[in-house]
Amino acid sequence: MNSKELKAYFEEHLVPSKLYKIGGSHKNRICLDKTENGWAVYFQDQKEKIGVLNFVDEASACNRMKDELRKLMEQLYGLTWAGAR
């Protein structure tokens, strides 16, 4: 899965765009961003990146972001797409 496919997946599963940012950072969202050495998934607070997870390939980063958003959707809305890949 790449970032374009991930965005389509989130749209298909009605994940509110206020929860995530693909391709950059935005305060109070889970972000997926390209870095010098690969890809990063993190939560952007007001000023700092929290819980930065680095990946060498886009697919691994996208899968991790999908898992993090699945957990967040379950916590906030009681909804999940568990088992869907």
Residue 25 lies in a domain: yes
pLDDT of residue 47: 86
pLDDT of residue 82: 61
**Which domain covers residue 59, as residue numbers?**
3-77
Integer CA distances (angstroms), 73 to 12, 54, 56, 57, 69, in order: 14, 22, 26, 25, 6
- Rounded-to-integer distance, Cα 85 and Cα 83, Å: 6
Residue 82 lies in a domain: no
pLDDT of residue 83: 54
Total structural domains within the chain = 1
The beta-strand segments (E) located in 1-85 are 20-22, 29-35, 38-44, 49-55
As averages over each run of 10 residues, the pLDDT of the chain (85 residues) reads 96 93 92 96 93 96 95 86 56
Residue 15 lies in a domain: yes
The tokens describing 75, both together, are: 């916590």
For the whole model, what pTM was predicted?
0.88
Residue 54 lies in a domain: yes
- Rounded-to-integer distance, Cα 6 and Cα 16, Å: 13
Pseudo-torsion of CA 61, 73, 85, 7, nearest 10°?
A: -60
Residue 61 lies in a domain: yes
